[in-house]
Structure 1
């Protein structure tokens, strides 16, 4: 029979607290914003275009959306990235870049 002052009354809560602290530390490491561990967070750097190619840089969001609509009408898949305030980069896949640049060059909002 357990005595009210025995060690088993303390061991359960202490183990639970230790497990919770270890779980919190792991979650902070795995999902934290530091570059030493976990996933990378934040905005991409200007040179970090990934698999896409930048075909135009515009100063207005509306202009970038209009260019994206023109590219879409031509059958070119595109996306827009906003790396800074008052700047929008239009990105396409490399195989579509030459045709997209031609359309962007003739786009009036540049």
Structure 2
């Protein structure tokens, strides 16, 4: 009986090691666990306009660029584009947005 139990120990250890390796690699290579920044999180930037059309947002960004204001456009959903600038440029950018005819 002892000989039969001895023969089972080797394969059992190998199976347990394989299961441990599979579980470790699933954990190590799985995606991020914490949710990323939400759409409301603008980070260091300030939203100055929300537009319904991509083309309008890109035109506004070009206008801001011509005025020397660095900006970016974010597309958080269908038919929605947000133009963001650095806080120190937000006042001038909002004036240009008002002249552009697109309220926030």
Normalising by the smaller structure, the TM-score range is 0.7 to 0.9
Relative to its length, the structure with more helix (as a share) is 2
Aligned partner of 1:39 in structure 2 is 34
Q: Please give the per-residue CA displacement for 1:33-92, whole angstroms capped at 9, x wherever unaligned.
A: xxxxx2324x723x3211111111111110000100111122211111222321211000
* Mean CA deviation greater in 16-25 or 88-97: 16-25
Matching residue of 1:63: 56
Given that residues 52 and 94 in structure 1 are in contact (C-alpha distance below 8 angstroms), is that contact kept between their aligned partners in structure 2? yes
Larger Rg: 2
Secondary structure of 1:76's aligned partner: coil
Question: 1:7-54 CA deviation, whole Å, 9 max, x = no partner?
Answer: 3344234313212213313544xx25xxxxx2324x723x32111111
Q: Which has the higher contact order (CA 8 A, sep 6+)?
A: 2
Which 5+ residue runs of structure 2 have no aligned equivalent?
1-6
Kindly tell me the number of residue pairs found equivalent between the two proteins.
98
**CA–CA distance in structure 1, aligned partners of residues 70 and 59 of structure 2:** 14
Match of 1:35 in 2: none
Scaled by the length of structure 2, what TM-score is found?
Answer: 0.75
